[in-house]
């Protein structure tokens, strides 16, 4: 099927109406069952993908691509958990009876058609489809090329689940055209695509923001900062910096840059060096001039303060004040997650008010930025934009609203 045909089908399906909550949840559970019962087919497809990719992908990327029985079971479990979440549709967000008797209600309704362009991570196929289905939308998935066969096998299983629950297979469609043209068609699918979510690296997201004429939610690259203020508890700061940097360096909420108040350099930096460089997996410290005078490390280049390393690397810089820290973060950050470690309430208040990021922390690790951690139950990614969704995107953010007005003949 051409991408245009896919978009037309999805739109038609979305316009036909929304299955009720029970039907959607039933379909999700049958999709989970089908993922399990298709485990062999999915693993065979995944093997083809991995064979074809083994010379072109890094070790980390190969690991992301790889499926096994346990990972498929986890995907199915994820789909079941989405079924158990409360229905995001039909909530009354606003209700008012006007003096003339008109009843004005704003209610949550589906977006319509959601398109998702993502990298070669097979589990995103089921995660994204499950969330979009629960949110009442038809979904068009465009997988990264290296996971093409896996995505096909997963979507076939999920479509079987849809059919078993009496829903149309057109609720979950997979792009068939491997070329870049298909991504561009989605980006320009005005009239068909109600929301496009790019999930992946900085390049993909930039292309979508610059090219797309359909509405896009940017999901986040994260150059996240921790600022150690003059009054910070140094032990707390060490724990938080180590956790934010090393607990999972490849994710977007990991710390990339450490800012330290100048008055703290002499006491804090030696402890930092001890903690971060003498561990099993040592962290490379890239130091500005002031910091390099105190501890050994790599001299930081200008680009180091504008880089999402996603690795065991931390750029470290001295600042003169909380104001300088805030200005640095607003200029060099990606408006994702930033933290201050301080005992000074005024500085904490200044930091949370003026740092222009989706999530601002006082005395905690940036690693908590996550739909599950925040209690949303799930997550479609972390939005670093300000329109519609900001921070972890749950089911609510995958819906829109509509005004429904009932009268008995009112005119204006």
The residues that touch its own copies, with contacts defined as CB under 8 A, are 15, 17-18, 96, 98, 102, 104, 106, 111-112, 190, 194-195, 209-210, 213, 215, 217, 233, 236, 239-240, 242-244, 247, 327, 330, 348, 352-354, 356-365, 367-369, 373-375, 385-388, 390-391, 400-412
Nearer to its own copies, 203 or 403 (CB): 403
Nearer to its own copies, 2 or 247 (CB): 247
Cα separation, 331 vs 2, whole angstroms = 42
Nearer to its own copies, 359 or 395 (CB): 359
Nearer to its own copies, 148 or 361 (CB): 361
State the DSSP code for 249: T
Minimum distance, C-beta of residue 368 to its own copies, in the bound complex (Å) = 6
Minimum distance, C-beta of residue 398 to its own copies, in the bound complex (Å) = 11
Minimum distance, C-beta of residue 117 to its own copies, in the bound complex (Å) = 17
Cα separation, 139 vs 186, whole angstroms = 12
Terminal alpha carbon distance of the chain? 49
Nearer to its own copies, 110 or 297 (CB): 110
Phi-psi region of 251 (alpha: psi -120 to 50; beta: other; left: phi over 0): beta
Contacts of 141 (CB under 8 A, 6+ apart): 115, 116, 118, 125, 128, 129, 151, 155, 172, 173, 174, 175
CA-to-CA dists, residue 100 to 92, 93, 107, angstroms: 21, 21, 21
Nearer to its own copies, 22 or 403 (CB): 403
Nearer to its own copies, 261 or 350 (CB): 350
Minimum distance, C-beta of residue 101 to its own copies, in the bound complex (Å) = 9
- The upper half-sphere exposure of residue 391, i.e. CA atoms within 13 Å in the direction of its Cβ, equals 20
Minimum distance, C-beta of residue 78 to its own copies, in the bound complex (Å) = 19
Cα separation, 80 vs 237, whole angstroms = 38
Nearer to its own copies, 160 or 308 (CB): 308
Pairing status of strand 138-142 against strand 172-174: parallel
Minimum distance, C-beta of residue 220 to its own copies, in the bound complex (Å) = 13
Q: Where are the beta strands (DSSP E) in 166-280?
A: 172-174, 195-199, 224-228, 255-261
State the DSSP code for 216: B
Minimum distance, C-beta of residue 326 to its own copies, in the bound complex (Å) = 8
Cα separation, 371 vs 143, whole angstroms = 22
Nearer to its own copies, 58 or 331 (CB): 331
Nearer to its own copies, 74 or 362 (CB): 362
Minimum distance, C-beta of residue 411 to its own copies, in the bound complex (Å) = 4
Minimum distance, C-beta of residue 399 to its own copies, in the bound complex (Å) = 9
Nearer to its own copies, 74 or 104 (CB): 104
Contact 139, 163 (CB under 8 A): no
Minimum distance, C-beta of residue 359 to its own copies, in the bound complex (Å) = 4
Cα separation, 10 vs 4, whole angstroms = 10
CA-to-CA dists, residue 293 to 2, 49, 74, 262, 288, angstroms: 61, 49, 48, 12, 9
Phi-psi region of 173 (alpha: psi -120 to 50; beta: other; left: phi over 0): beta
Minimum distance, C-beta of residue 227 to its own copies, in the bound complex (Å) = 14
Contact 162, 113 (CB under 8 A): no
Q: Is the dihedral of CA 215, 114, 19, 23 positive or negative?
A: negative
State the DSSP code for 170: G
């Amino acid at each position: 099927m051409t991408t245009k045909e896919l978009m037309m089908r999805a739109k038609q399906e979305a316009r036909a109406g929304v299955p009720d909550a029970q039907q959607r949840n039933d379909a999700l559970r049958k999709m989970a069952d089908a993922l399990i019962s298709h485990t062999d087919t999915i693993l065979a497809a995944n093997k083809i993908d991995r064979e074809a990719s083994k010379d072109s992908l890094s070790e980390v990327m190969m690991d992301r691509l790889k499926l096994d029985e346990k990972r498929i079971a986890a995907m199915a479990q994820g789909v079941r958990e989405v079924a158990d979440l409360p229905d995001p549709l039909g909530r009354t967000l606003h209700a008012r009876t006007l003096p003339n008797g008109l009843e004005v209600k704003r209610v949550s309704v589906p977006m319509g058609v959601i398109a998702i362009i993502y990298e070669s991570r097979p589990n995103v196929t089921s995660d994204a489809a499950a969330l979009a289905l629960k949110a009442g939308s038809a979904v068009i998935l465009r997988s990264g090329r290296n996971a093409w066969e896996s995505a096909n096998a997963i979507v076939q299983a999920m479509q079987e689940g849809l059919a078993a629950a009496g829903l149309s297979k057109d609720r979950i469609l997979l792009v068939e055209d491997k070329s870049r043209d298909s991504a561009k068609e989605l980006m320009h699918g005005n009239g068909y695509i109600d929301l496009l979510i790019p999930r992946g690296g900085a390049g993909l997201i930039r292309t979508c923001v610059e090219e797309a004429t359909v509405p896009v939610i940017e999901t986040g690259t994260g150059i996240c900062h921790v600022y150690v203020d003059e009054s910070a508890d140094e032990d707390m700061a060490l724990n938080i910096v180590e956790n934010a940097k090393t607990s999972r360096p490849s994710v977007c909420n990991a710390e990339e840059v450490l800012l330290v108040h100048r008055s703290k350099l002499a006491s804090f930096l030696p402890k930092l060096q001890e903690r971060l460089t003498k561990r099993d997996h040592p962290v490379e410290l890239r130091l500005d001039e002031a910091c390099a005078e105190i501890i050994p490390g790599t001299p930081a280049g200008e680009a180091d303060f504008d880089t999402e390393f996603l690795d065991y690397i931390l750029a470290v810089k001295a600042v003169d004040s909380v104001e300088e820290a805030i200005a640095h973060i607003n200029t060099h950050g990606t408006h994702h997650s930033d933290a201050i470690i301080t005992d000074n309430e005024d500085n904490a208040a200044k930091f949370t008010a003026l740092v222009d990021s989706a999530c601002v922390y006082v005395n905690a690790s940036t690693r908590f930025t996550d739909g599950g951690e925040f209690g949303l139950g799930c997550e479609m990614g972390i939005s670093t934009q300000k329109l519609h969704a900001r921070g972890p995107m749950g089911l609510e953010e995958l819906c829109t609203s509509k005004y429904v007005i009932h009268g008995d003949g009112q005119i204006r």
